[in-house]
Chain A
């Protein structure tokens, strides 16, 4: 039986996700929160609206800070001789197996926060569609490059 050696993500990935989550909440949700508070003043007093708005923002921040730990623990991947396996998801669990010879190409992507942390996302494509088939975020740059080269080394016929 072929051994599956599961790999966890770089621990910095959880930190990265936290930072991204907090930025998303502050930039994306704060204007919505202010709008909600203004709207709620028509129903309640300003004080109540501010308390409810601050509470919602606080909950979103707590979620952004704590959830990445669960996501990090749920994420794992394995490169076998025959296939790439990626498992993720806390509430909705998703495991994908991509036969190695089916891999068409692989991308390495880095956003500004990823770059600051020295992390990279590896995205793997097959001929199945126009979207990505699997992605492994939070990889150390060097590890990501090695993994990409390994996956593209023996991709076989890859026919459709």
Chain B
């Protein structure tokens, strides 16, 4: 590791830099980023028969030069040290940046090793806090020993969430190739495959109309093509799952949780003890038939980044267990989130009786639209002719799934956890430790008011838990338990005029 001349002062270690091999390791990703940001120009060069004239070659050299320059500057200027237990990172040539990361604020750390790292025996260390989006500390090329040592030092710094005597790890979950393949199949990409199929057909209609006509004239050709696209979608899904989750293992120690996975790029995610904010258990129909569930573990780290980048709250997860056998689920969940065992057996509180109507309406509308549009627009393209009757079948199927959704939905409050279950075809159970609740939201739309039902949204730093539609009494119980005394108690929730504080007259709006 490149040592600088700065001596350690007080509780500080000396400044250290990246390994020289980072020049090679970082050049390719940086070049890719540059290409992505300047793709219209590159497209013009390529489509315009470029890379021949001096101007075109000049632009390509500029792209390469920019990436090379940034990579060299990054290597020369990035320095880090531990200063009184805090990680201090300096970088930048013209715009200097100095960042201090408090170990107590670290939500998770991640060691990433792509094939280039592996060649040089290096690793990338990512450190995420709840403060900002993205990896707040990113050290792109350290030796494995140095990165692990730094990770351990941060974990044992004053204020960090680690316990004395930590070190021994128990493996609590392991996914073999069959399980990862099963996960890939159960994720499914049929919807995306349909979209790609539609776009491809539109492209062929515009640019290769005779080829399209001759192909589609053959009996069953449309159906075969669709089947090929759906199969390709599944192949993509299974392939990406294997690349991402091959050799998945989950370990637990007194320090917290650690996962490792990946075929080419190995990721090792460390979640300190007590940092888990939210667990989501996804049990699609296919996974239930296989006897498995997927568990997403959320902390306050990357979720804020995902939200900033436009993703819905709760869309990102720090770590995920691709497949957990149903019979092992309770003990795995208890290992990930201590306190779960006390919640068992899970006797769910039901959603409101009248919520059945809105659930059937929603299901019917969703499936009528989906199958109706398919029958009207896509079926003719497949050579089956218009199948508008699919809309009626969708209505019946949607009403049935709405009824089953309503029956599946439930909630439970324990002394330590809030639990919610929703969805029949794609069942999801969400768990939040009560100690992590940041705010509680009580919502009622006009249709819900008609049926006298409410929804409670529980916000934690890692996402949101949403209850099914429940009665006012249940909403009052949850809201009161998590947010203090319920504001619904006493009078109806809204009488048109807010009650004024004792001894004062309510203010009237000026007109």
Contacts and interface: CB of A to CB of B under 8 A. Distances in A.
Interface of A: 1-2, 4-15, 68-69, 72-76, 78, 80, 82-83, 85, 87, 91-99, 102, 126-131, 133-134, 160
A126 B438 contact: yes
A11 B308 contact: no
Contacts of A8: 498, 500, 506-507
A98 B437 CA distance: 9
Contact of A92 (B445, B479, B501): B445
Contact of B461 (A9, A98, A127): A127
A93 B496 CA distance: 12
B449 A93 contact: yes
Contacts of A82: 484
A105 B449 CA distance: 33
A126 B510 contact: no
Question: Main secondary structure on chain B at its contact with chain A?
Answer: loop
B440 A97 contact: yes
B445 A130 contact: no
Interface of B: 130, 133, 277, 300, 303-304, 307-308, 313, 436-446, 449, 459-461, 479, 482-485, 487-488, 493-494, 496-502, 506-511
A95 B479 CA distance: 10
Q: Which of A9, A11, A126, A127 has the most CB of B within 10 A?
A: A127
A24 B46 CA distance: 47
A96 B440 contact: yes
B459 A128 contact: yes
A11 B506 CA distance: 10
Nearest to B506: A8
A7 B500 CA distance: 6
B160 to A, nearest CB: 13
A6 B500 contact: yes
B501 A5 contact: yes
Contact of A91 (B313, B446, B487, B497): B446
Contact of B483 (A10, A99, A129): A99
A48 B139 CA distance: 67
Contact of A69 (B440, B446, B502, B511): B511
Given A94-B443, A96-B440, A80 B484 contact: yes
Given A82-B484, A85-B487, A129-B304, A98 B439 contact: yes
B479 to A, nearest CB: 6
Contact of B304 (A10, A93, A130): A130
Give the 9 A-B residue pairs with the shortest CB-CB distance, closest first. A97-B483, A76-B498, A14-B509, A128-B438, A128-B459, A126-B438, A83-B484, A95-B442, A5-B501
Given A11-B509, A85-B487, A99-B484, A73 B496 contact: yes
A130 B133 contact: yes
Contact of A95 (B277, B303, B441): B441
A129 B130 CA distance: 9
B485 A92 contact: no
Nearest to B499: A6
A106 B388 CA distance: 55
Contact of B507 (A10, A83, A126, A131): A10
A36 B438 CA distance: 46
Q: Which of B308, B439, B445, B459 has the most CB of A within 10 A?
A: B439
Given A93-B444, A96-B440, 17 more contacts: A6-B500, A6-B501, A8-B507, A11-B507, A12-B510, A74-B498, A83-B483, A92-B443, A93-B443, A95-B493, A97-B440, A98-B483, A99-B483, A99-B484, A131-B307, A133-B439, A160-B461
Contact of B277 (A5, A14, A160): A160
Contacts of B501: 5-7
Contacts of B510: 11-12, 14-15
A131 to B, nearest CB: 8
B208 to A, nearest CB: 36
A7 B307 CA distance: 33
Contacts of A13: 509
A15 B508 CA distance: 11
B498 A6 contact: yes
Contacts of B502: 5
Nearest to A134: B439
Contacts of A94: 441-443
27 contacts: A2-B484, A4-B487, A5-B502, A6-B487, A6-B498, A11-B510, A14-B510, A73-B496, A74-B498, A82-B484, A94-B442, A96-B439, A97-B487, A98-B439, A99-B483, A126-B438, A126-B439, A127-B438, A128-B438, A128-B439, A128-B460, A129-B313, A129-B461, A133-B439, A133-B459, A160-B130, A160-B300
Contacts of B277: 160
A72 B511 CA distance: 11
Nearest to A65: B511
Nearest to B493: A93
Given A8-B500, A129-B313, A97 B482 contact: yes
A97 B439 contact: yes
B308 A95 contact: no
A72 B510 CA distance: 10
